[in-house]
Structure formats: structure tokens, C-alpha cells
A = this chain, B = another copy of it.
Amino acid sequence: MADKVNKNNRVSISEVAVASGVSKMTVSRVLRGEGGYSEKTRELVMRQVDKLGYLPNRLATVFAGDQASTFVGVSIPDLGNEVFAQVLEGIDRKLGAFGHQTVLGLTQHTQKEEEAWIRTVLSWQPAGLILTGRFHAPRASEMVKNAGIPVVEIWDLNSSPLDMSVGINHFDAGFDMGRYLIGCGYQNIGYVGTSHDTANAATTRLAGFSKAVETGGGAVNKQLCLHDTAGYYPGYYGTEQLLTSSPDIECIFYQNDAMAFGGMQYCVSKDMCVPEDIGIAGWGDLPIAAVMSKRLTSMHVPHLKLGQAAAEMMIARLSGEPTADVRDIGFTLIPGSTVRQPDPS
């Protein structure tokens, strides 16, 4: 099977033409179905198409004509994080429904990887790009602009995007969470996350969070940024580290719900009561938040919808329909019961 790595054994339009006794242009017309042939000829050609198992070569079509390809490059930081898996699912479902294909790029949260991937994917003449985040290497931004194709920056809303952007304002979202926790009476608040990069959404979120806490007279002195994935276990041992060094912390804000769950498991294992002894707040309203023994205080972001919205904007732009350049998908605070009830003030 794989002894012929070259593609020469594939049936081409010319072979169909010869077999049908017509010119390859006629075959092309029949296959595209835009008229200019008789019913008799159509049947003749289609019979040979079926018989020979002809499959079109889209490479040739795109290459030949002015028409754009149906590829859309999608860069995602990583898939271990459920958030991005959901976003990607939303994107691919919607793109697929409109006849587009997703070319995936896992950037591992680095601009360098993203730049390398952009360079490669652009060489495949994609119809458009969907990029996670609003921070890109200068060279990457330049290449993308020069490509002259639609681009949607997602997740971290960019008010002055390369082209289009959909997501939420993470500073505001962080701020709202901070204000809420202050309103619950917490002053000494900790943070556990994994962002080791200033140019990402989690860091922006933390900045907004800190701002709100400080405005409310509290402090987020204890920030722990692990060099690990943002999963359950890092949440567990991150909490252990944080509480060992700072046992007086009243409440912990996590980078996401997975980490918050891990943190909560640590607290429970140490016979601490949540929220009586310590408050726990996550982020993302992931599926697990709804099935924990206590409803996790979190921030709901419509991840699947976000991905779908990105794909919709891309498709609209590609088909020449009008579309907003910037779309705020919004967030909703989930009070939950893993932090104290807010003061009724």
C-alpha cells in the first residue's frame, strides 16, 4: 500500500476525459455542475468518475484559480486545558459545517512556536486564520497582515485587532471576581496559577483581580505561579505550597476550575471546611464545577459559543457578508457556595 509514496497513481481529470471520450474541460464543467454540457455527456462522464474512483485534487484548483482554499489555520495553546478543547470543538464544528477544514497548531503558550506555525501554515494558502490570544511576535503580526486574509483573534478580546476579535475582557472579568470576593469580606487573598508569561489572558485577569482587591483594601500578596499545566494536581500541590508558607490566607483564587478543584481536594484532605475555613474561587465554569460537592464559585465563559462565534465571523468575512470586527462574548459570575456569602451591603 505505502510502497508508492508519490501520488501519481491518483486518477486525474484527464484520465476521466480520455475514458469518457471528451475533453478535460468538459469533465471539469460536469464536475462543477455549472452547465455547458448535455445530459448525455453528464451521464457519460459521471459513469467514468464512479468507475475510476476519481477524487478531485483541491490543491490544483486552489493553486490554479484566484479562489481561496477552504483551510482555516487555528492556533490553540494546548489541549490539556479543557477550556481550549471546548473552544476548538466549537470552531471545528462550525467551520466543518460550512465546508472548511481546520489546520491545527498547538503553540504551547509561546509566541515563538506561534510564529513558526504561522509561517508554515501561511505557505499552505489558508482562507483565514484563527489565533488564540492578542499578543503575537512582531514578525508573526507582519506576516499575517501581509497575507491579506481574514484573521480572528480569540479568547483575549483585542479592541484593536489585526482584523477581527472575539472573546472577553480578562481584566474586567478578573476585576469583577476580585470585587465579588472583597464583597464577601475577604481581605487576605491568595492566587494559584501557572502563567509564566506576561503576555497572556491569565496574567491580564490576575492584574484586574489584584486591582479590584487592592481597591477594596485587600491584598493579593501571595501569588503562586507554577511551571506546570493548569490541571487538577498542580492545583492540589500549589495549594499545599501556598498554605504552608502563608497559613493565614482566607481565600484562594485559581487560574481555572480544574486547579480550584485540586485545591479544594487538598483543603478537604487537611480537614479544612470550605468555605468556613477557606474560600475557593475558580474560573471558567468548567463541567466539573457543577458536580462538585459544593457548587464552585467561578466565572462562566461560553467557550463553545466563543469558538462558534469565531468561526461564524470567519465565514461571514470569507463570504463577503458584513460582520462586526470586535465581539465581546461576555461572562457571568457564578456565586457558588465555596466562598462566604457576600455582605448584604
Please report A residues at the B interface, Cβ cutoff 8 Å: 1-2, 4-10, 53, 55-60, 62-63, 66-69, 71, 74, 78-80, 82, 85-86, 88-89, 92-93, 96, 99, 101-106, 117, 119-125, 142-143, 145-151, 162-163, 231-233, 235-236, 258, 261-262, 265, 268-269, 287-288, 290-293, 317-318, 320
Interface contact A262-B233, CB-CB below 8 Å:
no
Interface contact B104-A92, CB-CB below 8 Å:
yes
Q: Which residue from chain B places its CB closest to the CB of A127 in the assembled complex?
A: B5
Q: Give every chain B residue within 8 A of A233 (Cβ-Cβ).
A: 287, 290-291
Taking a contact as CB atoms closer than 8 A, the residue among B7, B53, B69, B79 that contacts A88 in the complex is B79
Interface contact A56-B123, CB-CB below 8 Å:
yes
Q: List 5 A-B residue pairs with CB atoms under 8 Å apart, sorted by A's residue number.
A: A1-B151, A1-B162, A5-B320, A233-B287, A262-B291
Interface contact B147-A120, CB-CB below 8 Å:
no
| Closest-CB distance, A184 to chain B (whole angstroms) | 25
Interface contact A96-B86, CB-CB below 8 Å:
no
Q: Give every chain B residue within 8 A of A2 (Cβ-Cβ).
A: 148-150, 163, 317
Q: Give every chain B residue within 8 A of A268 (Cβ-Cβ).
A: 293
Assembly CA distance A103 to B124 (angstroms): 12
Interface contact A5-B88, CB-CB below 8 Å:
no
Interface contact B86-A124, CB-CB below 8 Å:
no
Q: Which residue from chain B places its CB closest to the CB of A66 in the assembled complex?
A: B6
Interface contact A68-B5, CB-CB below 8 Å:
yes
Assembly CA distance A88 to B85 (angstroms): 10
Interface contact A7-B125, CB-CB below 8 Å:
yes
Q: Give every chain B residue within 8 A of A258 (Cβ-Cβ).
A: 287
Taking a contact as CB atoms closer than 8 A, the residue among B55, B124, B163, B288 that contacts A288 in the complex is B288
Interface contact B147-A59, CB-CB below 8 Å:
no
Q: Which residue from chain B places its CB closest to the CB of A90 in the assembled complex?
A: B79
Contacts known (A85-B80, A106-B96); A232 close to B290, Cβ less than 8 A: yes
Q: Which residue from chain B places its CB closest to the CB of A6 in the assembled complex?
A: B66
With contacts A60-B63, A80-B85, A82-B82 known, what are 18 further pairs, Cβ within 8 A?
Answer: A1-B162, A5-B68, A7-B66, A53-B142, A53-B143, A55-B122, A55-B146, A56-B123, A57-B125, A71-B124, A79-B79, A80-B89, A99-B120, A101-B103, A232-B291, A258-B287, A261-B288, A269-B293
Assembly CA distance A59 to B64 (angstroms): 10
Interface contact B143-A55, CB-CB below 8 Å:
yes
Assembly CA distance A269 to B1 (angstroms): 56
Contacts known (A66-B8, A102-B104, A149-B2); A86 close to B80, Cβ less than 8 A: yes
Q: Give every chain B residue within 8 A of A147 (Cβ-Cβ).
A: 10, 55
Assembly CA distance A68 to B125 (angstroms): 17
Assembly CA distance A1 to B142 (angstroms): 12
Interface contact B117-A148, CB-CB below 8 Å:
no
Interface contact A101-B121, CB-CB below 8 Å:
yes
Assembly CA distance A58 to B103 (angstroms): 14
Q: Give every chain B residue within 8 A of A317 (Cβ-Cβ).
A: 2
Interface contact B288-A123, CB-CB below 8 Å:
no
Taking a contact as CB atoms closer than 8 A, the residue among B119, B145, B235 that contacts A55 in the complex is B119
Interface contact B123-A96, CB-CB below 8 Å:
no
Q: Which residue from chain B places its CB closest to the CB of A88 in the assembled complex?
A: B79
Assembly CA distance A6 to B147 (angstroms): 10
Interface contact B101-A124, CB-CB below 8 Å:
yes
